[in-house]
């Protein structure tokens, strides 16, 4: 143990109700290295980061973390404290105040004061010095909102360093950057390393590990699989560590025979409606058969959610390509139009997009369907209640009655309420965006069975999932997305975790198949 370990994570376990997010995780990080952290969505990376940054305080997890020679002991709500201790996270979603200058942002909350007034000259001089020292090429007086994402990230880094950060955690720093900005960032990181700053580097782009890190820790299902020096790794090795080998029997299989193609998406291109020069879809092609479950795999930011919300008429502005339903080209204008055409979407964010949390189960289930129960004015309360009751019963929503507020239900039951709402619209195509995220194993199983039942009854399902096992366990075919494009649609028989991961991370398919 002659090595200088700055951060020693020992046997850390973090449980949530129903889920163990981190299971006996141990990682050692040497002072001054760039340490990569690698794993699928849901492998436990973000939970670990939240522990290090004080979102989950000391005592909220098991195990010990030795930081710079002492045990890390962050109190409740100690995000500030973590920063003072020298652990700083540069989030992908940037946390700057857009209307302030670079200098104001760097010194926000710790402005130098001279006789009760802010000493602006000192503030800008100090900012300039920090920026120069770490070769961050941005002017202290620029207003942040006029900077590009790459420059904003530099400001974030400068802000962290101004607080004497000893460990800089970079969470997916390159996902919004252009190629040249990425090159620039790599230079900055190398410079930081030469100044002795330790970095933890999280990314989904595997090639970046080889480009910048000294060693890599791989997490899977909340466990540390391995920590290896980068030079001993290859991409294939990394992927096999990420996905593991075993596949548990957690998925009910039904014997269904998908029918004819009813839905086709051809070379779909779309841009962000609010920033029309930002492309979100760069050519997506796939089709869907009657009574089929089509899985859409891809890493976060690969355009999965953008694809389905665009199909649903609620997000992207289509610039090229076509969507055909039952052989006829359709143009969906908004959610209501999509529902009338027979397309329903169970959205990704259950609480933010799926439910009105303060309202009852009944009102949530009927919300998208009040036209069915209404005359010119009046809602037929009896018909509404009868239909909602029937749905709640079919989906086995566990609640004392339908008047209960949905925020008192468990995640699995909340998700059933969202699904019930959309089934009541009687869809031909049901799109489910990460339908089992954050719900317990039992409720997951019930939702899988429900999906099978629906498919057998002829409903076509598009399922986005972040869990490879789920995609493999439930789908008839799997379409893999990478950077806004559909790469390939795999038949279930030819799909393996390695192949999907290879397609999703942009490594050539053949590399792994060989």
Partner 1 sequence: MAVSTNVNAPKPSTGLSAELGKRFRSNIQTYTIILALIAIWILFAVLTNGAFFTAQNVSNLFRQMTVTSFLAIGMVFVIVTGNIDLSVGKLAGFVSVVAAYFQANVWYQMIPDQPLIAAILSVIIGVGVGVLFGVLQGYIIAFLNVPAFIVTLGGMFVLNGLILLVTQGKTIPANQPYFSEIAQGYLPPIAGWIIAAIVVVFLFWNMFRSRQSRARHGFELSNLGLELIVTIFFSLLVIGYVYWVNQYRGVQTPVLLLAITAMIMAYISNNTRFGRYAYAIGGNREAARLSGINIRRSIFLIFILMGLLSGIAGIVLASYVGYGTTAAGQGYELDAIASAILGGTSTLGGVGTVFGALIGSLIMSSLTTGLQMLNVAPAWQYLVKGGVLVLAVYADVYFKKNR
C-alpha to C-alpha distance for 52 and 39, rounded to whole angstroms: 17
Contact flag: residue 176 with partner 1 (CB under 8 A): no
What's the CA angle centered on 260, arms 257 and 262, to 5 degrees? Answer: 120
Whether 216 contacts 29, CB under 8 Å: no
Q: Nearest 5°: CA angle at 52, between 236 and 32? A: 65
* 401: contact with partner 1 by CB under 8 A: yes
The residue (of 43 and 392) whose beta carbon lies closer to partner 1 is 392
CB of 425 to partner 1, least distance (A): 8
**Residue selected from 262, 399, 481, 503 as contacting partner 1 according to rule CB under 8 A:** 399
Cβ(40)–Cβ(243) under 8 Å?
A: yes
CA 23 centroid distance within chain: 21
Cα separation, 244 vs 498, whole angstroms: 9
Binding window for partner 1 (CB under 8 A); candidates: 126-134, 273-281, 290-298, 331-339: 331-339
Rule CB under 8 A: say whether 446 interacts with partner 1. yes
Instruction: Output the CA–CA distances (angstroms, integers) from residue 214 to 30, 237, 243, 336, 400, in the order listed.
Output: 10, 16, 22, 52, 55
Number of residues engaging partner 1 in binding (CB under 8 A)? 45
Site for partner 1 in 407-426 (CB under 8 A): 421
- List the one residue from 382, 457, 493, 514 that touches partner 1 (CB under 8 A): 382
- C-alpha span between 489 and 286 (Å, rounded): 7
User: Which residues share a beta bridge with 220?
Assistant: 223
397 binds partner 1, rule: CB under 8 A: yes
Answer yes or no whether residue 330 interacts with partner 1 by CB under 8 A.
no
The residue (of 364 and 466) whose beta carbon lies closer to partner 1 is 364
Which residue number, 418 or 468, has a Cβ lying nearer to partner 1? 418
**CB under 8 A: which stretch of 18-26, 62-70, 204-212, 387-395 binds partner 1?**
387-395
Closest separation in Å from C-beta 345 to partner 1: 7
Rounded Cα distance between 427 and 197, Å, is 54
Work out whether 125 is an interface residue with partner 1 (CB under 8 A). no
243 phi and psi, to 5 degrees?
A: -95, -20
Site string for partner 1, 339-378 (x = CB under 8 A): x-----x-x----xxxxxxxx---x--xxx-xx--x--xx
Instruction: Indicate the Cα dihedral angle 403, 405, 406, 408, nearest 10°.
Output: -120
Write the interaction track for partner 1 spanning residues 22-61; mark x where CB under 8 A is met and - where it is not.
----------------------------------------
- Quick check: 385 binds partner 1 (CB under 8 A)? yes
Decide if residue 253 touches partner 1 (CB under 8 A).
no
Residue 348 CB, shortest distance to partner 1, in Å, is: 10
Name the minimum Å distance from CB 373 to partner 1.
9
φ, ψ (nearest 5 deg) of residue 494: -95, 0
Comparison of 338 and 480: residue with beta carbon closer to partner 1: 338
DSSP codes joined into one string, 406-469 = GGGS-HHHHHHHHHHHHHTT--SEEEEESTTTT--HHHHHHHHHHHHHHHHTT-EEEEE-S-HH
Binding-site ranges for partner 1 (CB under 8 A): 312, 314, 334-336, 338-339, 345, 347, 352-359, 363, 366-368, 370-371, 374, 377-379, 381-382, 385-386, 389, 392-393, 396-402, 421, 442, 445-446
């Amino acid at each position: 143990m002659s090595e200088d370990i700055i951060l020693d994570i020992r046997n850390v376990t973090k449980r949530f109700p129903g889920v163990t997010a981190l299971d006996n995780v141990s990682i050692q990080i040497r002072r001054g290295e760039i340490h990569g952290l690698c794993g699928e969505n849901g492998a436990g990376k973000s939970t670990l980061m939240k522990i290090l940054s004080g979102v989950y305080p000391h005592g909220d997890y098991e195990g010990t973390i030795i930081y710079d020679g002492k045990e890390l002991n962050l109190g409740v709500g100690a995000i500030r404290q973590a920063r003072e201790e020298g652990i700083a996270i540069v989030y992908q979603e940037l946390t700057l105040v857009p209307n302030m200058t670079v200098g104001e942002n760097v010194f926000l909350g710790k402005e130098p004061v001279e006789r009760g007034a802010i000493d602006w000259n000192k503030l800008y001089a100090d900012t300039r010095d920090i920026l120069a020292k770490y070769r961050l090429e941005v002017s202290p007086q620029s207003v942040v909102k006029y900077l590009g994402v790459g420059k904003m990230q530099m400001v974030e880094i400068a802000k962290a360093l101004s607080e004497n950060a000893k460990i800089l955690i970079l969470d997916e720093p390159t996902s919004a950057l252009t190629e040249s900005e990425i090159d620039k960032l790599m230079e900055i990181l190398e410079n930081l390393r030469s100044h002795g700053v330790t970095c933890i580097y999280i990314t989904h782009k595997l090639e970046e590990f080889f480009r910048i890190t000294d060693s890599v820790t791989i997490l899977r299902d909340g466990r540390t699989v391995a920590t290896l020096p980068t030079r001993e790794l290859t991409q294939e090795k990394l992927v096999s560590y990420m996905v593991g080998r075993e596949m548990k029997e957690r998925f009910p299989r039904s014997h269904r025979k998908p029918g004819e193609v009813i839905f086709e998406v051809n070379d779909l291109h779309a841009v962000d409606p609010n920033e029309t020069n930002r492309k979100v879809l760069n050519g997506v092609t796939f089709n869907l058969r009657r009574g089929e479950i089509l899985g859409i795999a891809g890493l976060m930011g690969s355009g999965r959610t953008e694809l389905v919300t665009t199909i649903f008429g609620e997000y992207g502005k289509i610039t090229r390509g076509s969507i055909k339903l039952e052989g006829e080209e359709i143009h969906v204008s908004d959610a209501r139009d999509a529902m009338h055409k027979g397309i329903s979407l169970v959205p990704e964010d259950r609480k933010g997009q799926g439910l009105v949390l303060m309202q009852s189960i009944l009102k949530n289930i009927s919300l998208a369907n009040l036209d069915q129960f209404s005359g010119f004015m009046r809602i037929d309360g009896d018909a509404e209640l009868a239909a909602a009751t029937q749905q709640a019963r079919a989906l086995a929503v566990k609640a004392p009655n339908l008047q209960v507020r949905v925020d008192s239900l468990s995640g699995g039951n909340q998700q059933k309420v969202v699904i019930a709402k959309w089934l009541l619209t009687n869809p031909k195509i049901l799109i489910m965006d990460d339908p089992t995220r954050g719900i317990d194993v039992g409720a997951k199983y019930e939702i899988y069975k429900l999906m099978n039942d629906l498919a057998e009854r002829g409903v076509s399902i598009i399922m986005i999932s972040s869990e490879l096992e789920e995609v493999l366990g439930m789908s008839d075919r799997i379409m893999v997305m990478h950077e806004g494009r559909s790469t390939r649609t795999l038949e279930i028989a030819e799909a393996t975790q390695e192949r999907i991961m290879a397609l999703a991370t942009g490594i050539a398919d053949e590399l792994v198949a060989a």
